Amino acid sequence: MRKRAEDVDRTRQRIVEAAVHLHGTAGPAATSIAAIAERAGVTRLTVYRHFPDDTALFTACSAHWLARQTLPDPDGWARIADPVERLAVGLADLYRHYREGEAMLALVHRDQHVVPPAVRDLRLGAFRRYVDTLADAWPRPHDPVRTAVIGHAAAFTTWHSLCRDQQLTNEQAVDVMTALVRTVHATRP
């Protein structure tokens, strides 16, 4: 019984690792169940036995990939009272994460139309927490314009544009986005 359970766990793990690899190299939209099965050395039916729908597969794939990352630490940012310092520390942490996970994040962002809504909602919930933590340190933390600018600064696409397309360093991008938020704050009533 125990050996059978261990075999099932190992098979499930191979499937998850195959999905993570394919999502991170080809992207979710180009990843088929047949390709996952082939890479994992199992049949398509075995994949479906372990993961009856896309949500189950994406959830396991995301959890596995995230467990191997050093995730941003909004709880640590929240301990910083000064809003500018919190923003700079938080953006530096996010941008570090984006750089380290760039290959996967770029493909998942590109292919977000195939990510199941439940998984997409979890990702958006985490992002909303990042933005709220960065916005909460400012006076009038619910100012919609400043919060929108903070959300823009915290977005993967902003980091990608500044650091990949415009070739800024993470530090330069943090400085630019912090200056933008400070300017917006200074012009708000």
Specify the CATH architecture of the domain 2-67.
Orthogonal Bundle (1.10)
Q: How many CB atoms lie within 10 A of CB 97?
A: 19
DSSP state of 150: H
DSSP state of 104: H
What is the average per-residue pLDDT within 97-116?
Answer: 96
Q: 5 or 13: whose pLDDT is higher?
A: 13
pLDDT digits (tens, 9 = 90+) for 129-155: 999 999 999 998 889 999 999 999 999
pLDDT of 188: 79
Name the residue ranges covered by the structural domains of the chain.
2-67, 74-187
Q: Say whether 115 sits in a helix, a strand or coil.
A: coil
Pick the closest to residue 90 from 106, 79, 99, 101 (CA basis).
79
Q: What is the DSSP string of 36-83?
A: HHHHHTS-HHHHHHH-SSHHHHHHHHHHHHHHTS----HHHHHT--SH
3-class SS of residue 138: coil
Question: Which two tokens mark 82?
Answer: 């000064």
Q: What is the mean pLDDT of residues 159-181?
A: 98
Say yes or no to pLDDT of 189 above 80: no
Sign of CA dihedral 163, 127, 69, 73: positive
What tens digit of pLDDT does each residue of 56-90 get?
A: 999 999 999 999 999 999 999 999 999 999 999 99
Angle in degrees, CA 164, 167, 168, rounded to 5: 110
For the segment 14-31, the average pLDDT, to the nearest whole number, is 97
Per residue in 173-185, pLDDT (tens digit) is 999 999 999 999 9
Indicate the average pLDDT of the chain: 95
pLDDT at position 3 over 70 = no
Q: How far from 4 is each of 18, 47, 87, 166, CA to CA, in Å?
A: 21, 17, 50, 53
